[in-house]
Amino acid sequence: MLSAPNVAVVGVTGAVGEEFLAILAERNFPIGDLKLLASKRSAGKKIEYQGKIFTVEELTEDSFDGVDLALFSAGSSASKKYAPVASEVGATVVDNSSAFRMTDGIPLVVPEANADTIKGIELGKGGIIANPNCSTIIMLVPVTPLHRLAHVKRMVVSTYQSASGAGRAAMMELDSQTRQVLDGKPPECKLFPQQYAFNLFSHNSDIGEEGYNTEELKMVYETHKIWGDDSIKITATCVRVPVMRAHSESINLEFEDPIDEKIASETLKAAPGITVIDDRDNNRFPTPLDASGKDDVLVGRIRNDISREGDGACGLDIFVCGDQLRKGAALNAVQIAELLL
């Protein structure tokens, strides 16, 4: 068992890559040698980590010799090309892209939901583990303990997704457009085809023949894989909102068994990775600002679904907020690595 693995961070100059370094430092993750990797245009950049200056190296097929753990966040095309190479030479890969999420034999992991699926994988022995989509992670951290309590039969989720989910360029576009609009200037639309500031729109992913975009379908199929149950009915509507960081989700749950909102609240309070903010008297519930920079997923608006009062109180509504860059991406990957340790 490795006590201080040699670590490579792939895509280190991106928003999630920077978050990888911050979280590794905050959690005192033991590292032997550290290698920072990115595209050719970022090679040579200097980055400080734990008081030491590192030089970013160009990502190549020769980048992984001696690496025990490779944290990938460089996009699916880079992952498809380089993750198998890294695994072949002994690096255990935790990949944040969509490249391997639905690949048979590759675990798709939310530690709070299905940590047992990575049993048998050892650091420095190769293998690939997939990080789920950010919206799926933020949803399943609070829904999984409720699923264990009363078994989810159907789930309807609407997301309110921040700019951070589309990367640094989206965050910069939201910032610049907001300044332009407030200055009375027309907003420049570079990344998105429509105005982002003071607006919201359907998630900017491809629409399939059935009318669902790929973000919505990820939430469906990834949940089925993580829970190991394709019978659960799930539908999603994903929307991009002018929030800089942290996603929000409104979730309606139908259960096989009756569930009481008070018991549900106590279950969520006792579950790992969750902070309950549910103050009805003061109308105080989770917000994206509350969740930004936080590890926990925030949960509130916990209430029985009044539309199901006649069928055994088997319905529940919750509202959740989670930091897309942390628990929705980098933190989840580092937690997987900690399990491997």
Taking only the tens place, the pLDDT of each residue in 93-150 is: 999 999 999 999 999 999 999 999 999 999 999 999 999 999 999 999 999 999 999 9
229 three-class SS: coil
pTM: 0.95
Q: Is the pLDDT of residue 188 over 70?
A: yes
Q: Is the pLDDT of residue 208 over 90?
A: no
Provide the pLDDT for residue 205: 87
Residue of 203, 247, 314, 321 marked active site: 247
Q: How far apart are the first and last CA of the chain?
A: 7
Q: Is the pLDDT of residue 223 over 70?
A: yes
Q: Is 147 a catalytic residue?
A: no
**CATH number for the domain running over 7-130:** 3.40.50.720
310 pLDDT tier (thresholds 50, 70, 90):
low
Q: Burial of 206 by CB count in 10 Å (0-12 exposed, 13-18 middle, 19+ buried)?
A: exposed
Query: Which phi and psi (to 5°) does residue 91 adopt?
Result: -80, 135
∠ CA 73-47-245 to the nearest 5 degrees?
A: 50
Q: Which of 12, 247, 56, 51 is nearest to 137 (CA)?
A: 247
**Who contacts 153 (Cβ-Cβ below 8 Å, separation ≥6)?**
232, 233, 254, 255, 256, 314
Please spell the DSSP secondary structure of 261-325, one letter per residue.
HHHHHHHHHHSTTEEE--BTTTTB---HHHHTT-SSEEEEEEEE-GGGGGGTS-EEEEEEEE-TT
Query: Which phi and psi (to 5°) does residue 88 adopt?
Result: -60, -35
208: tokens are 């399939």
Q: Which of 339, 220, 325 is nearest to 272 (CA)?
A: 339
Q: Which residues pair with 279 in a beta bridge?
A: 284
Q: Which of 8, 217, 181, 104 is nearest to 189 (CA)?
A: 181
Q: How far apart are CA 210 and CA 204, in angstroms?
A: 16
Q: Is 247 a catalytic residue?
A: yes
Q: How far apart are CA 2 and CA 162, in angstroms?
A: 37
Question: In CATH, what is the architecture of 136-162+200-324?
Answer: 2-Layer Sandwich (3.30)
Q: Is the pLDDT of residue 312 over 70?
A: no
Percent of the chain residues topping a pLDDT of 70: 99
Mean pLDDT of the chain: 96
43 three-class SS: coil
Of the listed ranges 1-10, 126-135, 148-157, 281-290, the one predicted with least confidence: 1-10
Q: How far apart are CA 266 and CA 78, in angstroms?
A: 43
Provide the pLDDT for residue 311: 61
Residue of 134, 238, 314, 321 marked active site: 134
Of the listed ranges 229-238, 248-257, 285-294, 312-321, the one predicted with least confidence: 312-321
Domain ranges of the chain: 7-130, 136-162+200-324
Provide the pLDDT for residue 59: 97
